[in-house]
Amino acid sequence: MDVEEALKFTDNLALTTTGKHLDSLQKAILRGAWNNQKYKEIAQEHHRSEKYVKEVGFKLWKLLSVALGDQQLCKANFRAKLENLQASNIVSLVGNGCIHIGNISAETLHSPEVSQFEPQDKNKFNQKTSNSEPKVYLDLGDAPEPNLFYNRTSELTTLKQWILENRTRLITIYGLSGIGKTALTLQLIPQIQHEFDYIIYRSLCNSPPLQTLQTNLIQFVSQQQEIELPSLIEHLRSSRCLLILDDVQTIFTSGQLAGHYQPGYENYGTFFKQLAESSHNSCLILLSWEKPREIAALEGENRPCKSLQLNGLGAEAGEIFREKRLAEEEKWSQLIDLYRGNPLWLNIVATMIQDLFGGSVSEFLSYDTLFLGDLECLLHQKCDRLTELEKQVICWLASEAAPVEISKISANLELSPSTLLQAVQSLGRRLLIEKVKQGEKTLFTLQPVLMEYVKNQFLKFG
């Protein structure tokens, strides 16, 4: 047995036992052990700390020892143990990705189904792993209670593909308040949790400094480990973690263009960039009203950073109206369109229709103005973050009966093209303007709810 056969054997062994291949550092440790290298030398060659390499090695020897029937492997005896087992015909390689241990054969096919082995298959491999599936440590303390979840099949499929197949390292899910970002994420977690060692959900609603957040994350991820790792990024390399940060918009400042950090919180941008660009096996999901500015430059079809804009519901929003016992189902689609399928908005409006109109949708729609009610408070939180320039743009758009070209906005507001483009781009990142295609042209307008709010708040004296 040479080093390449040993690596192939141990990789197949790990895959059969855990459903995961060895990563590059684990293979480097095995290769170093075979060639009698010290941990310090392995660490220097692969630009990692010696402490971190030792920790990865500790977990690797423990895994292989259990998988081989408590052979007590370690760095010092790894080569000798495998050569002795082969000489005794206890282990052998037979090609096509198969290994034999004594009279037991375990096929290791390179496919996603490996992680779905039934417990009895693991029993045949090793009795010591028969009573326990790979354990997932969850900390969802900051997650709210799950609300009603409405059909988001396509979004879930996209997210699972990005995370499980594409190994995307940073995902931003952004959308207006109440659109369902949190509900979607809570629905996603149980569908992918078996792929992770740790899953942590944190809300940034109280704007914790980055150092406080990182310390908190490290404390949770390291509590099951005997040796503390030096940094969060190395934890993310040694274990597969899913980190979810909700309410990211709270670390952005008001009165500035979208995605500007509060003073003292700029290091979050560096942190997000580092997690997107560094090599690791974990995933960070950001939930926000608006996209962080640096994210756009990191995104791409074949890059490990992606964004999902969450839009409103379609016909499935009718479930909200059924629950509220609204009448005249043929009118529901009009309500869904007016309120752009936002589940929270539709719940608020449906409650109001039931309270004031006895559930009659047609009576509600007979009024000339669009009723906002409790929505005004939510829209105020959103619009209060705008710059004066952005307020100018949405006020002008609210006064126009039809979508307009950007050049018309510039001419009427007497703004320079660069200034106007900055404002329009920022409003787009906040999802406060709508783009309408008309032939080859792109036109801009406001959605009905925002248009009504702006008329009430900013134009009522004009």
pLDDT of residue 433: 92
Q: Which two tokens stand for residue 112?
A: 């996603």
The band of 426, judged by pLDDT with boundaries at 50, 70 and 90, is very high
CA distance 213 to 389: 34
Mean of pLDDT values over 314-334: 91
Residues 129-137 have a mean pLDDT of 56
Question: Tokens in use for 385?
Answer: 């973050």
- CA dist 291 and 252 (Å) reads 10
| pLDDT computed for residue 283 by the predictor | 96
Task: Give residue 347's pLDDT.
Answer: 92
Structural domains of the chain, with CATH: 3-129 (no CATH), 137-309 (3.40.50.300), 316-368 (no CATH), 378-457 (1.10.10.10)
In this prediction, residues 16-20 reach a mean pLDDT of 75
pLDDT at 134: 59
Q: How far apart are CA 188 and CA 141, in angstroms?
A: 16
pLDDT in tens, 37-48: 988 888 888 777
Average pLDDT taken over every residue of the chain: 82
pTM over 0.85: no
Decide if pLDDT at 124 tops 60.
Answer: no
Which pLDDT score, from 0 to 100, does residue 270 have?
Answer: 93
Q: Where would I find the H helices in 301-369?
A: 318-323, 332-338, 343-357, 361-365
Stretch 393-410: mean pLDDT, rounded?
A: 88
Chain centre distance of CA 47: 28
- Alpha carbon separation from 132 to 12, 293, 298, 395, 415 (Å, rounded): 20, 44, 39, 61, 65
Confidence (pLDDT) at 440: 86
pLDDT for position 80? 81
Averaged pLDDT, 14-35: 84
- Nearest Cα residue to 343 out of 164, 187, 196, 179: 179
